[in-house]
Amino acid sequence: MQDSSGCSTCTSPTFNHEWYTAFGVTLCNACKRNEELIAKGSAKERFLLTDSDFKKLGFLTKTNPQHKDWTPMRLYLVSQVQTLSYQRHGGADGLERALYDRLNRPVEQRAKAKEEQRKQVWVLLSGCCGVFWGVLGCDRERRQG
């Protein structure tokens, strides 16, 4: 944690105590407007972090905007979430690679499944007059006999 004598960004002698308690940063009310907060769900999706990663970070809770009776939102400081994500994924390039892999994994899995399906069909077709062709009415045996 930083020295709590004033804002760490500007020369203001005051800082926001709520943010200091939650995030450990000393920012005045004017400077904290330059910082972004992100909801936990959005942060997990954008920075590819797990629930256990978030245990290391401070957060603010706010009433859920979807419905007041639902679980309150946990808001995290984007700069801290980004730093943690870079540590986990090996920097900005590592995070970008992980996001790319995550987006393409379903496409690759579908392509692999389709190829496996083609192989199975080929095996069935190459063994003509098997159960598969018998159902469709292959008459090769009758023609030869």
> Please, are residues 35 and 73 in contact by the beta-carbon 8 Å criterion?
no
Whether 22 maps to a domain, the answer reads: no
| 110: confidence class by pLDDT, cuts 50, 70, 90 | confident
Residue 99 shares a structural domain with residue 138: yes
Domain count, the chain: 2
Residue 82 shares a structural domain with residue 40: yes
Q: Residue with structure tokens 């069909």?
A: 121
Residue-number span of the structural domain to which 124 is assigned: 94-144
Contacts with 56 (C-beta within 8 Å, 6 or more apart), sequence order: 84
| Residues 53-105: tens digit of each pLDDT | 999 999 999 998 888 899 999 999 999 999 999 999 999 999 999 988 888 77
**CATH number of the domain enclosing 56:** 3.90.530.10
Q: How far is CA 132 from the centre of its chain?
A: 43
Whether 80 maps to a domain, the answer reads: yes
Residue 66 shares a structural domain with residue 101: no
Whether 30 maps to a domain, the answer reads: no
Contacts with 78 (C-beta within 8 Å, 6 or more apart), sequence order: 35, 36, 37, 38, 43
Whether 119 maps to a domain, the answer reads: yes
Residue 48 shares a structural domain with residue 70: yes
Residue 59 shares a structural domain with residue 80: yes
Amino acid 81: pLDDT: 96
As given in the structure block, the two tokens for residue 108 are: 């690759």
